[in-house]
């Protein structure tokens, strides 16, 4: 709900309030953002009190007591005496950078922003098939005090998820062009600064690791300049109060529906105020707005929670699932797939693919994805990007013949593409060398032997759509992995002439246009976004493609950091997670097959391993994993995810069903502790009065783990590393301990389960939990109130 009374806007979501005051002279003061407060006749208590100017700061022309430098403003303008960093740098018709936008009018209406489709940008959708909630939009128009240039501050409330989206439209109604060199989608000034800033940073194979900084005076920037949202700094950030935990305390999160260069700045001013901004990165940005034209920023997303970090994540998760993911894909279960990349890299042929498919089918896997190397003459990463013609020699015939064979085996088929790229060694490059992004007359910087295609040009976009569509319409392809493997450099388009400052933004708009056209033409295909792993993990990609390849790093230990970091802003259904071989190809670390699964199942599961080379024992393990995942698939993909604990040695995650009657909990241990104490497993989000049964997922433990203690677990004498052990290893694995409890939800949440004792070096028996380094268990929690315990009698624990 949004009201406007006595010059005050009061926007309320389910649990939050946002208040803006239109001050005399049309200045917009932010009065409050936080836990919901009631609608009241007067909010004088929240007004900034101006009794005199401050020392040598400047005051407004109409009020000598008012210093904008110390006001919580809704948006700030260069040249007006507010010396904090400005969200807008605009060269006005007189070429000056000063401007002064003041309140002119406003509009409040139901639903999302009316001009959404005209923005040519992805945006949060309104109500889908599954979700109904109150959505309201406020459009405040500001007008420059001199020129007919207008600025719209647009707010959309997604009430149930406690999300307020923000963005800006600039309308040039003057007769002269104006130049935008910075325009933030969101600016939020807060009256306090005791926050910790959380950012999600990394590089290739180490994306979105959480980093925390306690704020002191000055400016903090989180941004990307790679042309994509990047693996370096994700556009999702949040601020938490110092005492905030996963379950309690206040935090504010910000994200941007944008895949290009983004920019988030946090400024602690000397007056003790905090400014948050988010928008397109001003780096190499200069946009000429012709007379009569408008510019729309990307939509930014803001959320406040007083229920800790998990509370904030839950707001973000429900918003993404309900308003970012296309409704046709919302709640639609995703298949368990096998991808041939790490199994074969470029070295595959038809018979190899068919053998993988046959074994995959036996293990319960549902789809085969053919990764890089199926087109042109590509047998390594030096050629053929852009030549989207099937390599029939390698595939043993046409793509439709191959997909026919795969389908006949009972598997769906998926295909990898990298549409935005061109190899120097390709027919396309021979024909159109100027389609590659590079600066004229300069030696080009190259990434993975390839160039980026100039998607600012319509003929390039048309080529991608046509060549891509031809492949997709010729065969039964039900999934596409849309990759993008290099950062942009040498930003330049011959189509842009003197307006090269528009390159990056026009490039990403070009990507959106192509994605829009292709996904609309193939609505039945499940698209997965990828960019050298998770280099473009952002809300805009999710508007087109419901899932993203989280990282090229499939090492289970590393994945706990990556998936946990990602989970702060994005739900499990968006993260794809694969089980690969050991030693892991990115870290050379070995983790057990069960641990690789236990971490990967928190997301959309797949395998990326040469299953034709697995032992019988490994195949038994994998079929059990796939069956378990399928049984709990909707929980893993659409349940409510919470981080329960994450310290130096343990990671505990949980996913709970919407009705709170079912949950799965991961207990992960990074390294074995000698002579350990007991581990207590406390969970969240259950119904206190419900009776639950807790069981351990049956896991298999390799007897190799026991080294020369193998005879403690083997019924027959074995020599370590001897022939018998190696034969036994291939066919036999030890079953993990069994734990089973019945308990009320309150016990499980407040007291917790003391788990079975860990192996501690004094012999083995079946009641011990054999863990070790990089080890884990899954606990399944299921309500039995309606079944076994109908009598209402007490439950026995143990
Ligand atoms: C990227 C992807 C990988 C794989 C390769 C193929 O690195 O992230 O999963 O598809 O490209 O070249």
pTM over 0.95: yes
Residue 791 pLDDT > 50: no
Query: Does the CB atom of residue 162 touch ligand 1 within 6 A?
Result: no
- The pLDDT of 466-485, averaged and rounded, is 97
pLDDT greater than 90 at residue 169: yes
Distance of CA 210 to the CA centre of its chain: 13
Question: From CA 28, how far away is CA 287, in angstroms rounded?
Answer: 26
- Residue 104 designated active-site: no
Write the DSSP symbol of residue 506: H
786 is catalytic: no
Arithmetic mean of pLDDT, 559-574: 98
Give the Å distance between the CA of 483 and the centre of ligand 1: 7
Mean pLDDT confidence for 571-586: 98
What DSSP state is assigned to residue 758? Answer: B
Can you say how many angstroms the Cα of residue 458 is from the centroid of all Cα atoms in its chain?
29
d(CA 368, CA 489): 34
Torsion angle of the four alpha carbons 686, 690, 691, 697, in this order, in degrees rounded to the nearest 10: -30
Which tokens belong to 47?
């007004």
**Candidates 69, 371, 387, 483; catalytic one:** 483
Whether 340 contacts 406, CB under 8 Å: no
Supply the mean pLDDT for the chain: 95
**Residues 268-298 pLDDT 10s:** 999 999 999 999 999 999 999 999 999 999 9
Task: Please choose from 228, 347, 372 the residue to mutate so as to test ligand 1's pocket, defined by most ligand atoms within 8 A of CB.
Answer: 372
What does the buried/exposed string (b/e) look like for 744-780 if buried means 16 or more CB atoms within 10 Å of the residue's CB?
Answer: bbebbbeeebebbebbeeeeeeeebbbbeebbbbbbb
State if residue 416 touches ligand 1 by the CB under 6 angstroms criterion. yes
pLDDT, tens digit (0-9, with 9 covering 90-100), for 346-390: 999 999 999 999 999 999 999 999 999 999 999 999 999 999 999
- List the catalytic residue out of 387, 454, 538, 552: 552
CB-CB contact of 328 with 186 (8 Å): no
- Ligand 1 centre to CA of 524 (Å) is 23
With bands split at pLDDT 50, 70 and 90, how would you rate the model's confidence at 792? very low
**Owner of token pair 């003790």:** 272
Report the greatest alpha carbon distance in the chain: 94
Higher pLDDT, 731 or 159: 159
Distance from the alpha carbon of residue 435 to the mean position of ligand 1, in angstroms: 23
Q: Which tens digits make up the pLDDT trace of 104-156?
A: 999 999 999 999 999 999 999 987 767 788 999 999 999 999 999 999 999 99
**Residue located via tokens 């998936």:** 563
* Cis peptide preceding 583, ω within 30 of 0: yes
Q: Are 357 and 411 in contact (CB under 8 A)?
A: yes
Q: Looking at 163-172, 639-648, 708-717, which range is the least confident one?
A: 708-717
Q: What's the angle, vertex CA 201, arms to CA 165 and CA 278, rounded to 5?
A: 25
What is the CA angle 349-353-355, rounded to 5? 120
Q: How far does residue 345's CA lie from ligand 1's centre (Å)?
A: 9
Tokens of 214: 């306690």
Q: Is the pLDDT of residue 717 over 80?
A: no
Q: Atom of ligand 1 at shortest distance to CA of 531? A: 8
530 within ligand 1 shell (Cβ under 6 A): yes
Q: Each residue of 193-234: pLDDT tens digit?
A: 999 999 999 999 999 999 999 999 999 999 999 999 999 999
Indicate the SS3 state at residue 734.
strand
CB 653 within 8 A of CB 681: no
- Crossing angle of helices 350-363/399-408, nearest 10°? 30
Q: Return the DSSP state at 697.
A: P
Ligand 1 contacts CB of residue 483 (under 6 A):
yes
d(CA 643, CA 665): 10
- Separation of alpha carbons 791 and 71, rounded Å: 63
**pLDDT above 90: residue 180:** yes
Tens of pLDDT, residue by residue over 733-742, are: 889 999 999 9
Rounded to 5 degrees, what are φ and ψ at 396?
A: 70, 30
Task: Please tell me the distance between residue 416's alpha carbon and the centre of ligand 1 in angstroms.
Answer: 9
Q: Directed axis angle between helix 556-567 and helix 593-600, to 10°?
A: 10
């Amino acid at each position: 709900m949004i009201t406007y009374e006595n010059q005050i806007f009061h926007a309320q979501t389910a649990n939050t309030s946002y208040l803006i005051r239109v001050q005399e002279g049309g200045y917009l003061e932010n009065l409050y953002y936080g836990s919901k407060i009631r609608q009241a006749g007067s909010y004088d208590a929240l007004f900034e009190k101006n009794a005199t100017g401050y020392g040598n700061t400047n005051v407004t022309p109409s009020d000598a007591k008012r210093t904008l430098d110390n006001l919580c403003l809704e948006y700030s303008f260069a040249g007006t005496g507010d010396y904090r960093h400005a969200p807008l740098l605009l060269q006005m018709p007189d070429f000056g950078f000063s401007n002064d936008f003041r309140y002119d009018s406003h509009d409040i209406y139901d639903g999302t922003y009316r001009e959404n489709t005209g923005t040519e940008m992805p945006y949060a959708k309104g109500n889908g098939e599954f979700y109904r909630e109150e959505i309201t939009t406020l459009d405040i128009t500001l007008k420059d005090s001199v020129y007919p240039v207008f600025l719209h501050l647009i707010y959309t409330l997604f009430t149930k998820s406690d999300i307020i989206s923000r963005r800006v439209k600039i309308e040039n109604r003057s007769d002269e062009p104006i130049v935008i060199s910075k325009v933030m989608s969101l600016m939020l000034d807060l009256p306090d600064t005791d926050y910790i800033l959380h950012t999600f940073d990394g590089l290739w194979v180490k994306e979105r690791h959480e980093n925390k900084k306690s704020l002191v005076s000055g400016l903090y920037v989180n941004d990307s300049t790679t042309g994509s949202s990047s693996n370096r700094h994700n556009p999702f950030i949040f601020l938490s109060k110092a005492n905030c935990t996963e379950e309690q305390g206040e935090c504010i999160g910000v994200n941007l529906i944008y895949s290009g260069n983004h920019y988030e700045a946090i400024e602690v001013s000397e007056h003790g105020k905090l400014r948050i901004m988010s928008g397109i990165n001003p780096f190499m940005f200069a946009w000429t707005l012709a007379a009569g034209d408008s510019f729309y920023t990307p939509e930014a997303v803001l959320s406040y929670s007083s229920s800790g970090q998990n509370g904030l994540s839950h707001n973000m998760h429900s918003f993404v699932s309900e308003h970012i993911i296309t409704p046709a894909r919302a709640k639609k279960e995703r298949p368990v797939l096998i991808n041939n990349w790490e199994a074969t890299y470029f070295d595959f042929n038809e018979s190899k693919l068919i053998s993988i498919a046959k074994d995959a089918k036996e293990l319960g896997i549902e789809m085969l994805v053919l990764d890089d190397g199926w087109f042109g003459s590509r047998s390594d990463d030096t050629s053929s990007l852009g030549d989207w013609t099937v390599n029939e020699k390698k595939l043993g015939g046409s793509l439709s013949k191959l997909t026919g064979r795969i389908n006949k085996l009972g598997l769906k088929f998926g295909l990898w593409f990298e549409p935005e790229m061109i190899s120097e060694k390709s027919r396309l490059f021979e024909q159109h060398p100027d389609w590659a992004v590079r600066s004229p007359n300069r030696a080009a910087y190259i990434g993975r032997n390839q160039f980026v295609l100039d998607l600012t040009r319509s003929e390039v976009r048309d080529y991608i759509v046509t060549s891509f569509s031809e492949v997709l319409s010729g065969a039964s392809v039900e999934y596409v992995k849309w990759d993008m493997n290099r950062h942009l450099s040498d930003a330049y388009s011959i189509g842009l002439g003197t307006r090269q400052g528009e390159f990056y933004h026009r490039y990403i708009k070009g990507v959106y246009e192509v994605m829009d056209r292709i996904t609309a033409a193939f609505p039945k295909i499940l698209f997965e976004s990828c960019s050298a792993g998770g280099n473009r993990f952002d809300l805009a990609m999710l508007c087109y493609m419901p899932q993203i390849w989280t990282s090229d790093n499939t090492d289970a230990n590393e994945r706990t950091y990556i998936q946990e970091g990602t989970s702060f802003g994005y739900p499990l259904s968006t993260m794809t997670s694969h089980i690969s071989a050991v030693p892991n190809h990115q870290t050379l670390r070995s983790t057990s097959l069960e641990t690789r699964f236990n971490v990967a199942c928190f997301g959309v599961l797949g395998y990326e391993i040469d299953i034709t080379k697995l032992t019988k024992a490994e195949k038994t393990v994998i079929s059990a994993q796939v069956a378990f995942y399928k049984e709990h698939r909707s929980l893993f993909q659409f349940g409510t995810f919470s981080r329960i604990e994450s310290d130096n040695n343990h990671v505990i995650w949980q996913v709970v069903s919407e009705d709170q009657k079912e949950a799965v909990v991961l207990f992960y241990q990074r390294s074995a502790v000698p002579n350990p104490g007991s581990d207590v497993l406390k969970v969240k989000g259950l119904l206190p009065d419900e009776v639950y049964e807790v069981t351990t997922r049956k896991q298999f433990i390799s007897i190799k783990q026991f080294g020369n203690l193998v005879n403690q677990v083997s019924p027959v004498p074995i020599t370590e590393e001897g022939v018998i052990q190696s034969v036994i290893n291939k066919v036999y694995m030890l079953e993990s301990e069994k734990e089973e409890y019945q308990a009320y939800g309150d016990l499980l949440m407040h007291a917790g389960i003391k788990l079975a004792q860990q192996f501690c070096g004094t012999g083995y028996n079946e009641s011990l939990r054999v863990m070790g380094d990089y080890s884990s268990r899954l606990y399944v929690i299921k309500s039995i109130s309606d079944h076994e315990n109908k009598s209402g009698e007490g439950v026995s624990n143990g």
